[in-house]
Structures are given as structure tokens and as C-alpha cells.
Amino acid sequence: MNASTENMLLYYAPGSASFLVHWLLIELELPHRLHLVDTAAKAQKSPEYLALNPNGVVPTLVIEGKPQYEAAALAMLLAERHPDAQLAPLPDDSQRADYVQWMLNLANMVQPLFRQWWYPGEPAGEANAETVRTHCAPRIEKEWARIDAHLAANGPYLLGEAPSVADFYLTMLMRWSRNMPKPATEWPQLAALAQRMKARPSFKVLYEREGLTEWA
């Protein structure tokens, strides 16, 4: 066991962006503890939590006593510290560039759109919330169409024949779309990928630990 990953502490909220990190901790069979953050009560905005994560969001993962944050960065870190799991191409692997590109694309182009969908008043004020959502949904659907086409040509996973952390990340984002007018699973390749990822034993354990039921 790598000493740097022993006794990690994950600050999480069920179904939030911490979902990705929690899932990987389970998938990689890494010892960890959980601290539930009551986001409904704005616990993530408390002075105590902001001292850990100045962004005031989950997740935060304490590693060797040091708090780290950003879900995509944490996912990449965990995969790279445990190369035997083969969830991330090594630096000299020909797929490395595609892997990093997908991770950053999901983090920069897809995940922020969900923030706008859920909190439409943030970018434009509450008076314009519905306008933001009206413009946001087609942009999310455009991303699904693009990714579905990529999977049709290059799948069944984002990097081809084997899953990577990027597929775990994509699955979390697809789950977030479950109650949208046109969820990700309306696209056939995305629906197939979701089923494959949800069939992993770690997904079932994650759902049990977070008390989730939707999109099981």
C-alpha cells in the first residue's frame, strides 16, 4: 500500500462532484474515511470548510494531512498513483494526450454547463434564470451528440477498448442529466457506456454508501 494514500479523508455530498472521487476510491480499493458535507445547510461555505477548500464546493480530499480539491484533478491523481489499475495511460503512452484532452474537455466544456443549469441565477441574475437554462440545455445536448459520435467511431470507451478515469467522469456527468428534457442516455452509444460503467461492482457499492437510488 502506498503510504501517501493511506487514511485519506473525503469531504463529500451524495451525488455531487465528489461522486467521481468517491467512486474511484472504491474502485481502486483505497482505504479512506468519509465526512458528509451538508450542502443544503451551506456547510461548504462555512469558515471551517473554506479553510480546506477556498472554492466552497465538494469534493475535498485530505491526503497526508493536506487538503486537495478539484474533482478532475483528484481523479487523475488517484489513477496516476495506482498505475496497476490501468485507468490512466502512462506519460509515454500514445493515448496519453487523448486522455488528458478528454479529462480537461469534460472539466472545462461539459461540467460548467451543469453548473449553469442548476444555478442559472449565478451568471445572469435570477431575473434571467430561465433564459440561461433555455440556452444551456441545447449546449449540453450538443456535447452529448459530439461524444456519442466519437464513441460510435472509436469506442466502446472514450479511449477505445478499455475504460479510463475519463469514462468514470463522463458517467457522473451523464447521471447529472437524468432529469433534463433530453438526458444523455437518449444517445445510443452514451446509453451503452452508462450501462457498462454502472455494471461495475464499485458503482453498486458507491450507491449503497451514498444512499442513492435514481439512475441505478
Give the pLDDT confidence score for residue 6 in this predicted structure. 60
Dist CA 27 CA 202 (whole Å): 5
At 11 the pLDDT is 98
| pLDDT for 2 | 47
Dist CA 174 CA 10 (whole Å)? 22
What pLDDT score was predicted for residue 123?
A: 82
For 203, what's the count of Cα atoms within 13 Å in the CB-facing half-sphere? Answer: 17
Tell me the domain boundaries of the chain.
Answer: 3-85, 96-200
Distances (CA, A) of 123 to 139, 155, 163: 16, 35, 34
Q: How high is the mean pLDDT in each 10-residue block of the chain (216 residues)?
A: 66 98 98 97 98 98 97 98 97 97 98 93 87 93 98 98 98 97 97 98 98 96
What was the pLDDT predicted at 3?
44
- What is the model's pLDDT at position 7? 82
Determine the topology of domain 96-200 in CATH: Glutathione S-transferase Yfyf (Class Pi); Chain A, domain 2 (1.20.1050)
Q: What is the pTM of this model?
A: 0.95
3-85: what fold? Glutaredoxin (3.40.30)
| Residue 59 near residue 17, CB atoms below 8 Å | yes
